[in-house]
Amino acid sequence: MSEDDDGVITFTGSESAMADCAFAPDSYTVKIYKMALCTTAPTRPTTSDTYDVSSCVDVINSPDGQDVNLAAGSEMILSDVTRPANGSYSYGYILMANTFGIKAKKQFANTMHTYGAGTSGNYCWTKDATEHTSNSTDWDVTTTLVECGSAGGTAGTYTEILDLFDPADYSEDAMAVTGGTISADLITNSDGLLVTADETADRLFGVQTFTTPVEVTSSSSVFTVSFGVNQASSMWMEDEGSIDEYDVYAIGSGPFSTFMTVE
């Protein structure tokens, strides 16, 4: 996949052979409950033991959660922020809802087809819809999550409830993102345990290893939290049958990364 300076995306070859088909959405809304910095790596949850964040200090602690739009280039004021203690932090974690509000309209050099014999064109956009990831992987009907066609289409917000990563897979090992690596586990808030069934998770626990540690000293006065969303959405599609044309089922969620800098 390539994307030019005007944001036009080009796909080449079979979808199954593509290493990456992720891009930044126009809007990407999440609900954050906690963010923290850690001196050692947090212990991830299992089906019998909750996560261990004893080496971490809270940066954000919002019991009711705060909705954050992580659109590329946007700025936001986060509440419930606490200055971390002096130290060197190589890790961070985030506790958030497992819902992602994705709004995107993208132009393609390819002809893209709405899955299920729908409309076709060089643009695709999200539609107003809500679906569990486990249900949206059953591609047997015309999609209601995305539409492809001409430039005149208007994007809605697709809310994806992330309840699995792959069939019967509720955890994701460290994957490369901008600024480090991030792992993710689907859990329930009531017990903090890794879930074992679809449509049961209500939280996502993510651990990020920073490429460059965050250094907090007695002279530090400005603490900035930013988010990388250049990989935060991806095309769910399959080969249409013609060369470099694709049937699109959804524009779904992808990984994002956090950056914490101190001045």
Q: For the chain, 263 residues long, give each residue's pLDDT as a single digit of tens.
A: 888 888 899 999 998 888 667 788 888 888 999 989 999 999 999 999 999 999 999 988 999 999 888 765 555 566 777 888 899 999 999 999 999 899 999 999 999 999 987 899 999 999 999 999 888 766 667 788 999 999 889 999 999 999 998 889 999 998 877 778 889 999 999 999 999 999 999 999 999 898 999 888 888 766 666 565 455 678 889 999 999 999 999 888 766 666 666 66
User: In this structure, are residues 252 and 102 in contact, taking their beta carbons and an 8 Å threshold?
Assistant: yes
* pLDDT number for residue 234: 82
Angstrom CA distances, 48 to 43, 44, 162, 196, stand at 13, 11, 21, 11
The domain total for the chain is 1
Can you tell me which residue has the tokens 């014999």? 117
* pLDDT number for residue 262: 66
* pLDDT number for residue 229: 47
Using alpha carbons, select from 103, 233, 206 the residue that is nearest to residue 159.
Answer: 103
Contacts of 52 (CB under 8 A, 6+ apart): 42, 43
Angstrom CA distances, 19 to 14, 93, 175, 189, 234, stand at 10, 27, 13, 34, 12
Range of the domain at 238: 2-262
Tokens of 244: 């470099």
* pLDDT number for residue 243: 94
Q: What is the pTM of this model?
A: 0.83
Tokens of 120: 């076709």
